[in-house]
Structure 1
Amino acid sequence: MASILMVASEGLPFVKTGGLADVVGSLPVALSEIGHEVKVVLPLYKKIAENNFQDLTLCADYTVSINYHEVPVRIYSQTIDKVAYFFVQHQGYFERDALYGYEDDGERFAYFQKAVIEMLNQLNYWPNIIHCHDWQSGMIPCMIKETHDFDPRYRQIRFVYTIHNLAFQGNFGPQMLDSCLGLPYYLLDNGNVRYDGGISFMKSGILYSDKITTVSPTYSQEILTPQYGEHLELVLNMRKYDLWGIVNGIDTKNWNPKTDPDIPYHFDKVNLKAGKALDKASLQAELGLEQNPDVMLVGVVSRLTWQKGFYLMMEQLSAFANAPIQLAILGSGESQI
């Protein structure tokens, strides 16, 4: 069985903005249940500090170089359901109101990735596999292979890179290559990390990882095309024989209608109709809708973006208007989709 370190920018049960957190929350538990040793490392965000700090244990204290200065790092840990979680603390970078969307996001997550790489040395922990998720951890395979290849402890590590959302690529100016990542400029010259005049964390993850995965077999084929490749289709085609689509699973413990505390009436496959009908009527009442069992009630919780396919629904609004249907939509996102 393998020793696996998952590196991500969010994950349940601690913090979530999207589907990435669901995967990082569920996959480690599932892998540990079949015998793998799985650890997860996340930034210590404000929400985690407020809700969980009293349960964390300090396990390392060191520095990494960012913008030619030695910046302190503290690593905290907590074990839940046989999975050890590590948290990279830097109050200035991570204890903010939101997880992303800041001008210094590149610097923040360069710091995070450098901290993770040095954490291995500080804790004398050497996983067989580092599983990186999305652009916020995409430079780790590159930094280890380009700057730590002399060390056999780092050299034996293999890398899996999972693309959850290809549209967010971590594209930044070329000066970050040296100042924050500590990488040589020839990587810009030879094209390994170059993208649109700057650098791309996601492109680096695709090129330097041993295997690349996406959230479904269909999506793994779609992103090889100009229509869905988000301008990285040529890079992905270079690695298409190492690109795998694995369907995102579902956490059957948290999303179990037989035990879910967030619904008023429970049901399973035996009493499916009665329970669902009562929950439907309850939701209609809560939202001030007509409590009609014959009306189709469609509920959606999502980011309201073009990428999620809401334009398809907009195109069919006239058909919806003529049908007995109720729409309940909860989300945030783009003002125009």
Structure 2
Amino acid sequence: MNGKKILFVSSELVPYLPENQVSLMSYEAPRMVNSNGGQIRIFMPRYGNINERRHQLHEVIRLSGMNLVINDMDMPLIIKVASIPKERIQVYFIDNEEYFKRKATFADVDGNLFPDNDERAIFFAKGVVETVKKLNWSPDIIHVHGWMASLLPLYLREYYKDEPLFADSKIVTSIYDNGYDGELDSKMINKIAFDGISEENISALSTPDYNNLLKVAADYSDAIILASEDVSEDLKSHIANLSKPVLPYVSLQEAEDAYTNFYTTEVLK
């Protein structure tokens, strides 16, 4: 991985959020690349339950200040950064008062999904791309973890398809069984279509449940990693029909060799 640039975009990341499959692998995969001579950038949402003082987040004024249009509304983009001290890894946080100030990640205290999770996902995808453009950093691989990040492949390949910075970037999506129950907002497909993306290309999102959201992510990715042992048969069947490189599930102990080999022999070939 020496010298290769990998952009990691994740819904969750330790040590900023509690440990689960997504947050742990979103930390371990960049750490592996970093220790093998690769260049990395990590992006995640700045949820309100992240302790900014403890983790020493601070706003990057030169990257903040633009507005992103979400379903015909101007939403200010704020960029914050922090470092994971023992690894010397910098993390960029996508922030917006309306979408991310609340003191929770995806659901309220009763476990109900936030009704604007679809707009939060759109904002996050656009915010990552616009910030990377400002950094003028062209990644060789973009590796997506977690459902809140899963619109990124679609937006890169459709909304930003003429952006030269990403012309040669390969997209890898990790598929987890850490999803959500129920569905996101029923108008999600219309909000994405507002950005000039054909509803025909995202027809699965007329029912915006977890499996359909990840199917769209897989459709627009160059390669897939099965990051959980228990990925649903529905998702596995869809992925198998895409005829794209797939890395089957490997344990954390096997991940370094498996991921490095997959990146170099399957994704970058």
TM-score (norm 1): 0.64
What's the counterpart of residue 106 of structure 1? 118
What's the counterpart of residue 264 of structure 2? none
Instruction: Report if aligned partners of 2:175, 2:225 keep a CA contact under 8 Å in 1.
Output: yes
Root-mean-square deviation over aligned CA pairs: 2.6
Given the alignment, which residue of 75, 81, 89 partners 2:79? Answer: 75
Instruction: Report if aligned partners of 1:23, 1:248 keep a CA contact under 8 Å in 2.
Output: no
Residue 74 of structure 2 is aligned to residue 65 of structure 1 = no
What's the counterpart of residue 194 of structure 1? 203
Give distance in 2, aligned partners of 1:181 and 1:248.
Answer: 38
What's the counterpart of residue 22 of structure 1? 24
Q: Which amino acid aligns with 2:202?
A: V
Instruction: Report if aligned partners of 2:68, 2:74 keep a CA contact under 8 Å in 1.
Output: yes
Give 1:79 deviation, angstroms: 3.0
Q: Which amino acid aligns with 2:134?
A: Q
Instruction: Report if aligned partners of 1:3, 1:36 keep a CA contact under 8 Å in 2.
Output: yes
Give distance in 2, aligned partners of 1:184 and 1:49.
Answer: 37
What's the counterpart of residue 247 of structure 2? 244
Question: Which is further off, 82-91 or 198-207?
Answer: 198-207
SS in 1 for 2:41: strand
Question: Which is further off, 122-131 or 167-176?
Answer: 167-176
Give distance in 2, aligned partners of 1:17 and 1:32.
Answer: 20
Residue 263 of structure 2 is aligned to residue 214 of structure 1 = no
Q: 1:148 to 1:41 in 2, by over 3 A?
A: same
Equivalent residue runs for 1:152-163 within 5 Å: 152-163=164-175
Q: Which amino acid aligns with 1:36?
A: G
User: What do residues 116-156 of structure 1 show as CA deviations (whole Å, max 9, x unaligned)?
Assistant: 11111122222111110122111111111112222221222
Give 1:210 deviation, angstroms: 0.4
Q: 1:23 to 1:202 in 2, by over 3 A?
A: same
Question: Which is further off, 107-116 or 43-52?
Answer: 43-52
Instruction: Report if aligned partners of 1:214, 1:244 keep a CA contact under 8 Å in 2.
Output: yes
Instruction: Report if aligned partners of 2:11, 2:147 keep a CA contact under 8 Å in 1.
Output: no
Given the alignment, which residue of 40, 43, 46 partners 2:42? Answer: 40
Give distance in 2, aligned partners of 1:123 and 1:87.
Answer: 14
Query: Which has the higher Rg, Structure 1 or Structure 2?
Result: 1
What's the counterpart of residue 270 of structure 1? none
Give 1:215 deviation, angstroms: 2.2
Give distance in 2, aligned partners of 1:144 and 1:96.
Answer: 28
What's the counterpart of residue 135 of structure 2? 123
Equivalent residue runs for 1:277-288 within 5 Å: none
Q: 1:239 to 1:82 in 2, by over 3 A?
A: farther
More contact order relative to length (CA 8 Å, sep ≥ 6):
2
Q: Which amino acid aligns with 2:63?
A: A
SS in 2 for 1:39: strand
Give distance in 2, aligned partners of 1:142 and 1:54.
Answer: 32
Give distance in 1, aligned partners of 2:24 and 2:125.
Answer: 21
Structure 1 residue ranges without an equivalent (≥5): 252-337
Q: Which amino acid aligns with 2:12?
A: E
Instruction: Report if aligned partners of 1:43, 1:94 keep a CA contact under 8 Å in 2.
Output: yes
SS in 2 for 1:147: coil
What's the counterpart of residue 93 of structure 2? 87
Q: 1:196 to 1:211 in 2, by over 3 A?
A: closer
SS in 2 for 1:42: strand
Question: Which is further off, 163-172 or 98-107?
Answer: 163-172
Q: 1:155 to 1:21 in 2, by over 3 A?
A: same
SS in 2 for 1:195: helix
Give distance in 1, aligned partners of 2:45 and 2:13.
Answer: 10
